[in-house]
Structure 1
Amino acid sequence: MKRRLQAFLFLLLLTGSLAQAQVKDPVVEGIVKEANENSQLEQLAHELLDGIGPRLVGTPQMQQAHDWAVAKYKNWGIEARNEKWGEWRGWQRGVTHVDMVHPRVQSLDAMQLAWSPGTKSKGVTAEVIALPNLQDSVAFQKWLPNVKGKFVMISMPQPTGRPDYNWEEFATKESLEKMHQHRDSLNKVWSERMEAIGYNGRSLPPALEQAGAAGVVTSNWSRGFGVNKIFGAYTKKVPSIDMELEDYGMLYRLAESGQKPQIKVVAESKNLKNAPTFNTIAEIKGTEKPEEYVILSAHFDSWDGGTGATDNGTGTIVMMEAMRILKKMYPNPKRTILVGHWGSEEQGLNGSRAFVADHPEIVKNTQAVFNQDNGTGRVVNISGQGFLHAYDFLGRWLSAAPENITSSIETHFPGFPGGGGSDHASFVAAGAPAFMLSSLSWSYGTYTWHTNRDTYDKIVFDDVRNNAILVAILAYKASEDPNMASRERIVLPIDTKTGEQRTWPAQREPNRKGGLD
């Protein structure tokens, strides 16, 4: 009799669970349907990436993007504003054209680094020389007058422009090993050379400029076919350009063999007056708990080697699309749903740090932050960021999403608090439950992260659409949750290197006056 009762009770429990699982949530269904049948992602990406282009802090394109986003939100019936938090050195990229004019004529693939000084309209023609192998800083100071009136190459010439996967597919074992040894040896010698002269990639360009160099030439290869990383210049008066591996290597070999190559550089960038820096903020106001917040997060700025497609155009359009869908399918949330498009993340999370510092009342009442930043891939990894009970509330919210959206996601609870890397860290440091929605790679680190190939065509829209659905559902469930998410933190382990107790990341102040020194 007892066994039959237990079986009966189990059957009742199972039947109830199945019935509960079969109950469909009309809001979730609406989100999925709207995302799949009326997606705006391709149009948003086209307008932002092809029309406006890269969004380097301090440039007119950054301001144009902020204004575009506000207009988009208002067109969807969502209140939006640009919120000033500082100012940055104003700069505008112009045409870059580089030609080798001796010992023969050939157009070269190169571009100015961000904030590089420009040239006169006719450009600058000068010999190109390579950084020599010098014994020490004394020898370097003796050699330094040789740079006067010349372009100086300061990057190590790569022995191969083929990425490792290409070697691994086609090379013999012996050839592959030989290549690795050769490259490792060159890297070691180059590092020792830089250490001997007492300079690094940041301090050497100003020294060359002061000594009268015509300009600085680098090649920051990203270990893929045709791809370089494009960052900022450290010169104030003469142009700094980055050149593709193939052309850089050719010039370097010509210089080393005594043929005294010459290049003509036309760089039409110009300095502008200091530019205000903004975060774009949009809100769907809560109806029951308007002073509590669910925050969608993505940085808006980019480097400008490409058009900032996967870093972080994709994160931007995911959050915009999620907000558009929520406004249509969930227009009266219980909690306020706020989206932040942060400025100057690339220079140190400045926009999100400023928002956290300027709005403690919002951070204090934040239910959760969902941040997306690392590429075009579907979300595959979420960490609890060191919040002890994240598995409970985040697990419940995730369970509301369709299995095809969440099946590839690995969760790690409780995880460890992010100290940097993306904007969720600004909120984690302030104690708010903030989560990075980490994406499938799609060769992000090599081919699109901060590179000249980070463009519209690298976006995988099916994956981005999945992410918009996921974010919208997470925001909906976090808003509806009757309870505030727990902020209880784990006790961090001992640091095995120092033997001391690890501490929670400290809240850091933003740089509110960038590039103005």
Structure 2
Amino acid sequence: MKKTTFLVVAAFSLSLGLGFAQTKDTPKDPVIAGIIKEANDNSQLEKLATELMDGIGPRLVGSPQMKQAHDWAIEKYKQWGISARNEKWGEWRGWERGVSHIDMVYPRVKSLEGMQLAWSPSTKGQSVVGETIIIPDVADSVEFKKWLPNVKGKFVLINMNQPTGRPDYNWEEFGTKESIEKMKAARTAQTEAWARRISKTGLAGSAKALPLALEKAGAAGIVMSYWSRGFGANKIFGANTKTIPTVDISLEDYGLLYRLTESGIKPKISVRADSKELGVVPTFNTIAEIKGTEKPNEYVMLSAHFDSWDGGTGATDNGTGTIVMMEAMRLLKKFYPNPKRTILVGHWGSEEQGLNGSRAFVEDHPEIVSNLQALFNQDNGTGRVINISGQGYLHAYDYIGRWLAKVPAEYKKGLETRFPGAPGAGGSDFASFVAAGAPGFSLSSLNWSYGTYTWHTNRDTYDKIVFDDVRNNAILAAILAYQASEDPTRTSTEKSVLPLNEKGEPSAWPAKRSPNRKGGLD
């Protein structure tokens, strides 16, 4: 057994709302003063959000809307006098969403709230009608195989029926202690029972196995409901079937179908799910640049992923991060047009499928990664930035602290720093840079019920954006980029010492791996 080396490194938190004068006086630095005044008096955030989220819509990797968004961003930067380009990083399965229409046609007629999942096969303009059937509670995989012929021509319900459609906070506000405990116990028991039921099919090992087995057995389609535990919000991901549609239905309508099916009424649904397969298509990152004057070969980067799932319009994941960084670049170009270091922004493709765009950029541009002063990434909703972690860099407290000291107090209210922090923690695009030893940092924001209501859900839309918070973040990002560019010293990338794995590498760092440049093609 190889020897493992440990060094305990103390982490500490620092609230940046303390120790700074709470004032709204105009900053003495004319660049900072200009950034703040312009951001508040002439914000472009609402316009950008309308054009991107409402006009272009969701940005699924490989879709025409994703390419449209890249071209839109290039045009915006051109209008602001900023050089920008689309860089191809790979290829993906091209797919375009069409009409989704799902109706219950027996025992009565009711239009159901639902939609096909991304990459679902098309019904080619036709409506497919069939009974619904539930995955049974069988003894084992042998019994399940004997049952499989029953799905022929039917829509198979593959998720459990939720015992309540109310979020827990609603129960906690209005329910008695006894009723809350009873509900939670029933939900836990039901969830565990359903997991056992799926396990006994012998097909629980991967997300693809069960849908593909049902498809092979002649099912008309797959019906699912992945509830986000918030009123009206369903998680939306990709389909795993190859020839039959996969549709996601709201908790309320899924529960209706489930109960009717379970009671023996045998409801029928009609599903039309149109889509187009577009073959293999190129995929891009959009990179914009304000060239440095004194140290053009050193870099400061702003960062946000551009792609989204397409159940909603990708407003808080990650439309808000996108428009924050676009607005920050606009402000920097207007008030800091000749930075010391080159300032870049990366709008990454295919973060949702594994940080593919940013990982490809890191692999393709070692000259930037090795000369990176700092990268600031945002990707977790619409709230004010409240946390910056040192990502395991031993001296991050020094330079991040210096830069934050220049930010007026009202724009860092409640902001805490955590040093040295956990390396690569958070799982967004900054981790691609941290894995390569570059100083990438996450601007982590207030929750605003992100995980419950908007993260990967069909409710992630423009109306969930909190523009006051987003405006605050654009100001913060612009000032941090300005200070990082102006700093006379290079940032240290000395890492805190972590347990080593069998390869002699720090075990907690994200894996260094090549991006999936031909994903989604099977």
Partner of 2:245: 239
Partner of 1:484: 490
Partner of 1:513: 518
Partner of 2:159: 155
Letter of the 1:74 counterpart: K
- For the residues of structure 2 that align with 1:230 and 1:153, how far apart are their CA atoms? 16
* CA offset digits 1:237-261 (Å, max 9, x no partner): 0000000001101101111111110
2:208·2:241 contact (CA, 8 Å) conserved in 1? Answer: no
- For the residues of structure 1 that align with 2:27 and 2:307, how far apart are their CA atoms? 42
RMSD: 1.5
Partner of 1:190: 194
Partner of 1:44: 48
Partner of 1:5: none
2:315·2:460 contact (CA, 8 Å) conserved in 1? Answer: yes
Partner of 1:348: 354
Q: Choose from 66, 69, 73 the match for 2:77.
A: 73
- For the residues of structure 2 that align with 1:493 and 1:170, how far apart are their CA atoms? 48
- For the residues of structure 2 that align with 1:135 and 1:358, how far apart are their CA atoms? 52
SS at match of 2:211: helix
Establish whether residue 112 from structure 1 lines up as the match of residue 112 from structure 2: no
Compared CA separation, residues 440 and 366, structure 1 to 2 (3 A): same
2:391·2:425 contact (CA, 8 Å) conserved in 1? Answer: no
Deviation at residue 418 of structure 1 after TM alignment:
1.1
* CA offset digits 1:22-52 (Å, max 9, x no partner): 9811111111111111100000000000000
Higher helix share: 1
- For the residues of structure 2 that align with 1:22 and 1:297, how far apart are their CA atoms? 28
1:284·1:336 contact (CA, 8 Å) conserved in 2? Answer: yes
Q: Choose from 208, 217, 220 the match for 1:214.
A: 220
- For the residues of structure 2 that align with 1:230 and 1:216, how far apart are their CA atoms? 14
- For the residues of structure 1 that align with 2:26 and 2:41, how far apart are their CA atoms? 23
Establish whether residue 432 from structure 1 lines up as the match of residue 442 from structure 2: no
- Segments of structure 2 that go 5 or more residues without pairing to the other structure are 1-20
* CA offset digits 1:373-416 (Å, max 9, x no partner): 00000000110000000000000001101100112101001111
Compared CA separation, residues 258 and 478, structure 1 to 2 (3 A): same
- Segments of structure 1 that go 5 or more residues without pairing to the other structure are 1-16
* CA offset digits 1:81-103 (Å, max 9, x no partner): 00001010010001101110011
Q: Which runs of 4+ in 1 moved over 2 A?
A: 500-506
Letter of the 2:194 counterpart: W
1:381·1:439 contact (CA, 8 Å) conserved in 2? Answer: yes
Deviation at residue 503 of structure 1 after TM alignment:
4.6
Deviation at residue 120 of structure 1 after TM alignment:
2.9
SS at match of 1:126: strand
Establish whether residue 331 from structure 1 lines up as the match of residue 363 from structure 2: no
Compared CA separation, residues 101 and 53, structure 1 to 2 (3 A): same
Deviation at residue 122 of structure 1 after TM alignment:
2.6
Partner of 1:229: 235
1:370·1:437 contact (CA, 8 Å) conserved in 2? Answer: yes
Partner of 1:464: 470
Partner of 2:406: 400
Q: Which has the higher contact order (CA 8 A, sep 6+)?
A: 2
| TM-score normalised according to structure 2 size | 0.93
Letter of the 1:85 counterpart: W
Letter of the 2:463 counterpart: D
| TM-score normalised according to structure 1 size | 0.94
Partner of 2:300: 294
- For the residues of structure 2 that align with 1:205 and 1:134, how far apart are their CA atoms? 17
- For the residues of structure 1 that align with 2:305 and 2:448, how far apart are their CA atoms? 20
SS at match of 1:479: helix
- For the residues of structure 2 that align with 1:109 and 1:275, how far apart are their CA atoms? 31
SS at match of 1:272: strand
Deviation at residue 505 of structure 1 after TM alignment:
2.7
1:127·1:262 contact (CA, 8 Å) conserved in 2? Answer: yes
Establish whether residue 164 from structure 1 lines up as the match of residue 168 from structure 2: yes
Identity among equivalent pairs (%): 73
2:27·2:408 contact (CA, 8 Å) conserved in 1? Answer: no
SS at match of 1:337: strand
- For the residues of structure 1 that align with 2:352 and 2:426, how far apart are their CA atoms? 11
1:420·1:426 contact (CA, 8 Å) conserved in 2? Answer: no
